[in-house]
A = this chain, B = another copy of it.
Amino acid sequence: MRNVKLIIEYDGTNYHGWQTQKNAKTVQDTIERAIKGLTGEMVELTASSRTDFGVHALGQVANFMTNSSIPGDRFSYALNRLLPDDIVIKDSQEVSLDFHARFRSKGKKYRYLIYNSRFPSAILRNRAYHVSYELDFESMQKAASYFPGTHDFSSFRASGSSVKTSVRTITEAVLERDDKIISFEISGNGFLYNMVRIIVGTLVDVGMGRIDADDIPKIIESLDRKRAGRTAPAEGLYLVEVYY
């Protein structure tokens, strides 16, 4: 038995998220089917996180156990020949049997793209969140600066989700602007369900003047989802990197 780690890029537009579901095409299914085509085995792929419908990945990490004799670094080449072109295995390697893509993860980096322009972009459709209202970028930057640190992020968690603790440490939250594209990068030791999308939605509400940038600390302290802003849509979100 061997353990193989994959680094995966995908365009989430045409998938009902990562995780296997009945009657819906998912990224996990599609890669498991390619592995079956290659090795004959029906493996179970474990990912660092289960991205939602429409969310993209530049560096999703997953692992699976196999009895195949294919060298670890050859899986990428072989699987890419079997996969559709919106899923690419960027790297593959054999890892120790105790590696687990989810439980061993020490942190992650996400990117979120906002396209801030009167009309949507044809090229960036399904790749960025279109906001037609002219956003106040400097206020958004100020708001973003309050997120790094260790906080209880209950205010930025989708209601109904349940995890043991909602305390997370954010190490980086940087907002940059290049003409009409606003890019937000956030790194931390873990993220609650929809946390990045709610943080971005809150930044957009700050940019529209609906939330004051300096209220962010109070919103975090309130532990109240209703105090934070909207949930930004899936299509702007990219899982960039997973740290081990």
Q: Using CB atoms and an 8 Å cutoff, list the residues of chain A in contact with chain B.
A: 9-11, 56, 58, 76, 80, 85-90, 118-123, 125, 127, 238
Contact = CB atoms under 8 A, between A and B. Distances in A.
A120 B77 CA distance: 11
B88 A11 contact: no
A122 B76 contact: no
B76 A90 contact: no
Contacts of A76: 119
B119 A80 contact: yes
Nearest to A76: B119
- Copy tally for this chain in the complex stands at 2
Contact of A123 (B80, B118, B127): B127
A123 B89 contact: no
A120 B85 contact: yes
A240 to B, nearest CB: 11
Given A9-B121, A58-B123, A85-B122, 17 more contacts: A9-B123, A10-B122, A11-B122, A11-B123, A11-B125, A76-B119, A80-B119, A80-B120, A85-B125, A86-B122, A86-B125, A88-B120, A88-B121, A88-B122, A89-B119, A123-B127, A123-B238
